[in-house]
C-alpha cells in the first residue's frame, strides 16, 4: 500500500476569500461546489457524488449549526449523506480525512469534502471569543487566555529556547503577503515589510496584528474519487498518497513541549510513512500559519529543518517562491485568509492547482509532490496529507 494512491482528487473549488457581506454560510459553500462541478464536466454531481463531509467550526457566527444538510441542499446534492466535521481550525482537514475513510471503506466511490466559515460580520472581540472556544475552557478561556495568546505563549517559549526573533516571524508575514499578491482569490493583495509588521498593533505580545491570520469569509471543496475511477473524470488527477491525523491535550499547559506540536509530528509521521516519502521529497507545501510563529513551528515539526532552526530557514528565503521548498504559495492563512472551517480543504485546493500546473503566476515549476498541514485549536488536532501527480 505504501506510496499508492488512497484516493484521487478529480476536481476542486474555492470561493473568493475575503468579505462576503450579506452572504450566508450555505450560500458561500455553494460557490465553491459550483466551481468544482464546472471544472469537471464529465462528473454528474447528482448521480455520481455519494457523500459530503464539510468542516464548519462555529455555530456562534450565525446561530446556525447542522451545516452538512444545508450545504448539501444549496449544492444541489439533497438526499446524499452529509455530515459536518468539527475539529476547530482543522475542521476541513478532518473532513478530508473522513472522505478518505468513506472512499477506502468502499461505501462511496466519489465524495465531496470541503469547509466553510462566515466570520466578517462579527466584531473582532466576538470573533476572538468564538475562536477561543477551540481552546480549554476551564483553564484557558476562563482565565482570559485568547487564541493569539496561546500561540504567543509558544512563540515566547521558542524565543527563549532557540533565540528566534520577532524579525524572523515578521519575515513569514512578508513572504505570505507577497505570495497572496499572486493569488487573485486571496483576501489581501498587499505587500508588507518587516518594519510594517513590527510596528503593527500588539495583539498578544510578541504577536502583532500582521503576525495574525485574517478574519475572512470563504469556502472550499475538493472531489475525491476511488483511484481506479479517476481517469474517467479527468486527465490530470492528483493522488493523495499519505494521510495522518492526531490528537493532543486540549490545554496547551498540559503538553510536554511548549515549542512544538506533538499532534503535527504524529500526523506527519503517519502521512510520510504511508506515502513512503521524506520531508526532503516535498516540493510545495501549505502549512497552518494561523500566526507567523505557527509557520516556523510547522517547519520544525514537519521535518523541513532541524529543531530550533526554523528562523534560519526563513532568513535564507528557502520557503519563498523560487526557494528550495516554497511554503504557502496561496498566501497562507496569513494573507489568503483563514475562514477557519474552510482552511484545510483550501490548502488541498492550492496543492491541487500546483500539481496540475494551474497555479499561474505562483506556479512552482514541475511540482509533483506536495503536502498540506492543518492544525485545530492550539494543536489539539493536526492533520497532514501528501499529494502526488502522475506527470
Just list the catalytic residues: 89, 338
For residues 241-265, one letter each, b for 16 or more C-beta atoms within 10 angstroms of the residue's C-beta and e for the rest, the string is: bbbbbbebbbbbeebebbbbbbbbb
Per-position DSSP letters for 79-148, written without gaps between them = TS-EEEE-BTBTHHHHHHHHHHHHHHHTS-SEEEEEEEE--TTS-HHHHHHHHHTTS-TTTTGGGT--HH
Q: How far is the CB of 308 from other proteins (least distance, A)?
A: 16
Helix (H, G, I), strand (E, B) or coil at 216: coil
Q: Which is nearer to other proteins, 70 or 252 (CB)?
A: 252
Q: Which is nearer to other proteins, 150 or 359 (CB)?
A: 150
Taking the mean position of all CA atoms in its chain, how far away is CA 229? 26
Q: How far is the CB of 258 from other proteins (least distance, A)?
A: 6
Q: Which is nearer to other proteins, 140 or 301 (CB)?
A: 140
Distance CA 391, CA 389 (A): 6
8 Å CB contact between 296 and 168: yes
Which residues fall within 8 angstroms of residue 190, CB to CB, at 6 or more apart? 177, 180, 181, 335
Q: Which is nearer to other proteins, 63 or 142 (CB)?
A: 142
Q: How far is the CB of 145 from other proteins (least distance, A)?
A: 5
Distance CA 369, CA 81 (A): 32
Q: How far is the CB of 250 from other proteins (least distance, A)?
A: 12
Q: How far is the CB of 149 from other proteins (least distance, A)?
A: 5
Q: Which is nearer to other proteins, 145 or 287 (CB)?
A: 145
For residues 114-144, one letter each, b for 16 or more C-beta atoms within 10 angstroms of the residue's C-beta and e for the rest, the string is: bbbbbbbebeeeebbebbbebbbeeebbeee
Q: Which is nearer to other proteins, 334 or 373 (CB)?
A: 334
Distance CA 124, CA 134 (A): 16
Q: How far is the CB of 208 from other proteins (least distance, A)?
A: 9
Contact residues: other proteins, CB under 8 A: 124-126, 128-129, 132, 138-146, 148-149, 152-157, 160, 201-207, 251-254, 258
Q: Which is nearer to other proteins, 76 or 137 (CB)?
A: 137
Alpha-carbon separation of residue 113 from 62, 98, 105, 133, 175 (angstroms): 22, 8, 16, 24, 29
Q: How far is the CB of 121 from other proteins (least distance, A)?
A: 16
Eight-state DSSP code of residue 44? -
Distance CA 113, CA 29 (A): 11
Residue that the C-alpha cell 454560510 belongs to: 25
Amino acid at each position: 500500500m505504501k506510496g499508492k494512491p488512497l484516493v484521487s482528487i478529480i476536481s476542486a473549488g474555492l470561493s473568493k476569500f475575503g468579505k462576503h457581506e450579506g452572504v450566508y454560510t450555505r450560500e458561500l459553500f455553494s460557490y465553491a461546489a459550483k466551481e468544482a462541478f464546472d471544472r469537471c464536466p464529465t462528473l454528474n454531481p447528482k448521480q455520481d457524488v455519494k457523500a459530503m463531509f464539510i468542516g464548519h467550526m462555529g455555530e456562534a457566527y450565525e446561530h446556525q449549526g447542522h451545516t452538512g444538510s444545508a450545504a448539501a441542499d444549496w449544492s444541489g446534492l439533497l438526499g446524499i449523506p452529509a455530515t459536518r466535521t468539527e475539529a476547530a481550525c482543522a475542521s476541513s482537514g478532518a473532513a478530508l480525512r473522513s472522505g478518505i475513510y468513506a472512499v477506502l471503506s468502499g461505501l462511496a466511490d466519489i465524495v465531496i469534502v470541503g469547509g466553510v466559515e462566515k466570520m466578517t460580520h462579527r466584531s473582532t472581540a466576538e470573533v476572538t471569543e468564538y475562536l477561543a472556544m477551540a481552546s480549554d475552557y476551564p483553564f484557558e478561556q476562563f482565565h482570559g487566555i485568547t487564541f493569539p495568546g496561546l500561540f504567543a505563549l509558544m512563540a515566547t517559549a521558542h524565543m527563549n529556547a532557540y533565540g528566534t526573533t520577532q524579525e524572523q516571524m515578521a519575515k513569514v508575514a512578508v513572504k505570505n503577503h507577497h505570495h497572496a499578491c499572486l493569488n487573485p482569490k486571496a483576501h489581501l493583495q498587499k505587500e508588507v515589510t518587516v518594519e510594517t509588521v513590527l510596528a503593527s498593533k500588539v495583539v498578544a505580545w510578541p504577536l502583532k496584528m500582521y503576525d495574525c491570520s485574517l478574519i475572512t469569509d470563504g469556502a472550499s471543496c475538493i472531489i475525491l474519487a476511488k483511484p481506479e475511477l479517476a481517469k474517467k473524470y479527468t486527465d490530470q488527477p492528483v493522488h493523495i498518497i499519505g494521510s495522518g491525523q492526531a490528537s493532543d491535550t486540549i490545554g496547551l499547559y498540559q503538553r510536554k513541549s511548549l515549542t512544538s506540536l506533538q499532534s503535527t509530528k504524529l500526523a506527519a509521521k503517519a502521512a510520510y510513512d504511508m506515502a513512503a516519502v521524506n520531508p526532503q521529497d516535498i516540493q510545495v507545501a501549505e502549512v497552518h500559519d494561523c500566526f507567523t510563529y505557527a509557520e516556523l513551528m510547522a517547519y520544525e515539526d514537519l521535518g523541513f529543518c532541524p529543531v530550533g532552526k526554523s528562523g534560519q530557514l526563513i532568513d535564507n528565503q528557502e520557503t519563498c517562491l523560487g526557494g528550495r521548498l516554497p511554503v504557502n504559495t496561496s498566501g497562507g492563512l496569513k494573507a489568503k485568509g483563514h475562514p477557519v472551517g474552510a482552511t484545510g480543504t483550501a490548502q488541498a485546493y492550492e496543492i491541487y492547482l500546483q500539481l496540475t500546473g494551474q497555479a499561474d503566476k505562483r506556479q512552482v515549476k514541475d511540482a509533483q509532490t506536495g503536502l498540506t498541514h492543518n492544525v485545530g485549536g492550539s494543536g489539539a488536532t493536526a492533520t497532514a496529507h501528501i499529494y502526488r501527480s502522475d506527470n
